[in-house]
Structure 1
Amino acid sequence: MTEPTFEALHQLPQRDLPFSLEEFSERLLSVRKRMADENFDMLYLTSPESMYYLTGFKACWYGAQGPSSWPQYYGIAVHRDHDKIIHIDIPAESNYIDYISIPTVDKRIIPKRADLSFIVDTLKNEGWLKGKVGMEFGSYRPNRVVSEQLQSAFLGGGSSGVVDATHILRQQRRIKSPQEIIYHETAGEILDAGYRALVNEARPGMTEMEAFGILNLGMHKAGGDQCAMPYSFASGSRAIAGGHCLPSNKVMQKGEIFGADPCGSYHQYHTNVCRVFSFGEPPKEMMDQYNLIAKAIKHVENIIRPGMSVNEFAKDMREFYKEVGIWDQRNWVGGYEMGIGFAPDWVGEWEFTLGNFTEEGSFDERTLDENFVCNFENVFSAGGAIDTLIIRDEKPLIPSFLDGSIYVIE
């Protein structure tokens, strides 16, 4: 066996992009058109989702909560009149950018972490700070202190105004391309693999953390990414109490129910399916409630269609819930946009509510457009389940071998 040479060990990995260069190019063109429509000259994008969407760059650490002496000034700049993207980052990411991002990105490495003048001079020398600049004020990255420093520096560098442009990329990302749809479907298959591992291996006497690990490992073995947040996982009274609770070292007992609310993730595209399990047969009343939830999921699949208004969908579903007698037990019934997810969140911008604890959803004439991907939460005091939908004419429900009723583990 030949020993690898020093040079071979230090070669960069081959570039591995999640989308074709053509798709990345089309995304940039579409964003530039949106910029022109709203008279933005430049966008300085700092959210992980936006950076990934336009360049393929992704990282395990974005430093948003790091030391104040390491301000997170770094991001990508897009100009409405240019077909290149400038990526400004620290030296530690230099080689990584070369193989994780599109080859056309114009990489600029900041010499010192806190050198804001480097960013201003770079953009000013390109002629990109002459007009209206948009930033993602709605992103957690960078934090408010750093965001205000960037805003002030851009104004001092010649910009005529710096305003919020969070909506530009969020609107752009809402309707999914055919390849993005495939990634959501694959994420669903990955999640199903994780759930199969869970029902095959979880046993009374394990801690919640052990079972949580089985589910995660099952997804990773199936090719899944790390999902964007540590999802809810709870058993016994913790599961009944509800809430977005983290898994604990509580020991799961025979006769208890437990629930998981994970996402499968593939190329950062997230598919959400929440299910409930029982070690042994649960009380009949509880099983009956969850059987109604399973029927509700089938009803959603049968009625939802592209172009349907939220009002139409809500009216039909409310009638179903009232007919089976659970509408008055609602906690939250609705959904939100799914798509690219990075820590700390996978919850997207576009949401709709059919009803919550105290009221029915408000009048909502927006439409559920074709190739929009969202979760749908049937959450009631006596039981609940969550699924992911692709708004399309055929097979809108991303399938799961778990139908929404309680899965009994003997």
Structure 2
Amino acid sequence: MAKPRVSTSFDRTNAEPVELAFPKAEYLARWTKAKAMMEAEGIDILFATAPAHMCWLHGYYAAWYRTQAPSNWGACLGTALCLGWDEPIHFDAVGEDALLYKTSVAEDIRYFDSRSPEGQPPFIVNELKASGLLKPGTRVGMEFRSFQPNRWVQETIEMAFREAGCEVVDASMILRTARGVKSPAEIAHIERAMRICELAHETAWRTIRPGVTELDVEAEMACAMHHAGGELSAIPIMIQSGNTIGGHQMPRRRVIQANEHIKIDCSGVWFRYHANILRGFWTGEPPEEVRDRYRRSGDSWDVFAKEARAGRPVREVNAELRRYYKDCGFEGKQAGWCIGYELGIALPPDWVDEFNFSYDEDPPDDVVWQDGFVGNFETLWDTGLIDTFVIEEAGARNLVDTSRIPFDVLVCEG
């Protein structure tokens, strides 16, 4: 391996020790998995630019990726995973060296010699050429489905590869797919994130009462999570109250009233791994009809937990859910729905990952629940009920401690 470039402004040898998300062995297994998928697709170099994918490959994450920076500022950072090269090669601005030390196991880091968007793509190409990895006919995969970098920057990088004689293809799905099944170490991080999310909802439960604002509740929840070591979530805490509940709303200055429904959707975060809970709260005693609707909606979890076993087709589990919802009196999308999606590493602005299901949309028979998959289960029939689960051989295991946060409407001071 070529000797990595080093920063002249940050001395790693005298830097304080840091706690990385995983030991290097965890990442080595990921590189092996991803390279096997690349080889199957005939891809020689995968240039990963999605923030979650750079994090998955070597741990790196940042507060700012220069996505919408001024047009004359280069934003071509990315990680090249190459067949025939042991380590990923990360390309970035030299000013991020200290951050890479604090978050990443990457050892082969190439710092741009130009800040300009015109100078950075040729730098990437020339470095890969010099390492013997890029030549005419090399098949390069890029992540065209990633928001990072923006379209204009993506096109300048793509053009540089094409001008060097490379074939460029969309390889967005390689790492999206590779990340779908979580390792035991990843699941442990998600469970730690869940304890933080539970703490946030306990805090909301204590805080909600007539006279406080949605922003007051958010402030207390965020404070509790950060004091417990939780990180900023990829989507802001969503709090809705009153008779305009719906959509994905940030908290407002609205004052919470007595005898009303409040829904709160948030994720706890640990080393960028997300665990998600949504709950409905009620100021005062909920009407019996509300309690009954929550009970019927919540009981669907027992069906999912039993039926969603590793290896079982998703469509079969959907059929069991449809049967349950019909038997208990919920009908179709007019009244609500049951869906879910993959969770894992996430950076703003989104924590929703690739795999998803909907109880009324059946995939082919070969789409099965995979052992180690982590996602959320949403049963939303004018009810605020979302929990996070992991698929195991015996079924879906709820990662939420429901003795702390019951799968039900939570009654607050009214």
TM over 0.5, yes or no? yes
- How do 1:136-175 and structure 2 match up within 5 A? 136-159=143-166, 161-175=167-181
- Give the Cα separation in 1 of the matches to 2:174 and 2:99: 27
Measure the CA separation in 2 of the matches of 1:256 and 1:71. 49
> 1-side partners of 2:412 and 2:212: how far apart?
14
State the Cα distance separating 1:223 from its structure 2 match.
Answer: 2.0
Are 2:30 and 1:27 aligned?
yes
Amino acid at match of 1:128: L
Deviation, 1:109, is 1.2
Whether the 8 Å CA contact 1:332–1:378 is kept in 2: the answer is yes
1:371–1:391 contact (8 Å) kept in structure 2: yes
The counterpart of 1:272, out of the listed 246, 269, 276, is 276
Q: Could you tell me how far apart the structure 1 residues matched to 2:134 and 2:215 are? A: 50
1:4 paired residue number: none
Give the one of 289, 309, 312 matched to 1:308. 312
d(CA) in 2 for partners of 1:175 and 1:363? 18
Matched, 1:124 2:125: no
Determine the C-alpha separation between the residues in 2 that align with 1:309 and 1:53: 27
Residue aligning to 2:195: 189
RMSD: 1.8
Structure 2 contact 76–157 (Cα < 8 Å) conserved:
yes
For residues 102-134 of structure 1, the C-alpha deviation after alignment (integer angstroms, 9 at most, x for no partner) is 1x5211111222222222211221122221001
The match for 2:54 among 47, 51, 54 is 51
Q: Is the Cα contact below 8 Å between 1:378 and 1:385 reproduced in 2?
A: yes
- Mapped contact 1:293–1:404 kept (Cα < 8 A): no
Deviation of the 1:11 alpha carbon: 4.5
Per-residue deviation, 1:138: 0.8
- The reply to whether residue 259 of structure 1 matches residue 263 of structure 2 is yes
The residue identity in structure 1 corresponding to 2:409 is: I
Distance 1:296 1:218 in 2: 30
Q: Report the equivalent of 2:371.
A: 370
- Work out whether residues 12 and 99 of structure 1, in 8 Å CA contact, stay in contact via their aligned partners in 2: no
TM-score in terms of structure 2 length: 0.91
Residue type of the alignment partner of 1:311: R
Q: Which residue of 1 aligns with 2:110?
A: 108
d(CA) in 2 for partners of 1:73 and 1:154? 13
Deviation at 1:95, TM superposition (A): 2.2
Instruction: Find the partner of 1:179 among 185, 189, 209.
Output: 185
Give the gaps of 5 or more residues in structure 2.
1-9
C-alpha deviations, 1:242-299, integer Å up to 9, x for none? 1111110101112122111111111111111110001101222122111212212233
Counting only pairs closer than 5 Å after superposition, residues 9-408 of structure 1 correspond to structure 2 as 11-102=14-105, 104-114=106-116, 115-116=119-120, 117-130=122-135, 131-159=138-166, 161-239=167-245, 242-328=246-332, 329-355=334-360, 361-365=361-365, 366-380=367-381, 382-392=382-392, 393=394, 396-399=397-400, 400=402, 401-408=404-411
Measured after TM superposition, the shift of residue 394 of structure 1 is 6.1
Report SS of the residue matched to 2:359: strand
Correspondence for 2:3: none
Task: Kindly report structure 1 stretches of 4+ aligned residues shifted beyond 4 Å.
Answer: none
Q: Measure the CA separation in 1 of the matches of 2:335 and 2:31.
A: 42
Q: Deviation digits for residues 287-343 of structure 1, max 9, x if unmatched?
A: 211121221223322332111211110111111111110133443321111111111
What count of residue pairs does the alignment treat as equivalent? Answer: 393
Q: Is the Cα–Cα contact under 8 Å of residues 310 and 371 in structure 2 kept in the other structure?
A: yes
* Unpaired stretches in structure 1, ≥5 consecutive residues: 1-6, 356-360
Question: How many angstroms apart in 2 are the aligned matches of 1:267 and 1:99?
Answer: 12
* Same amino acid, percent of matched pairs: 35
Q: For residues 246 and 99 of structure 1, do their structure 2 counterparts lie closer, same or farther at Cα, with a shift above 3 Å needed?
A: closer
Change (3 A) 1:190 1:88: same
- 2:321 and 2:280 mapped to 1: Cα distance? 22
Amino acid at match of 1:41: D
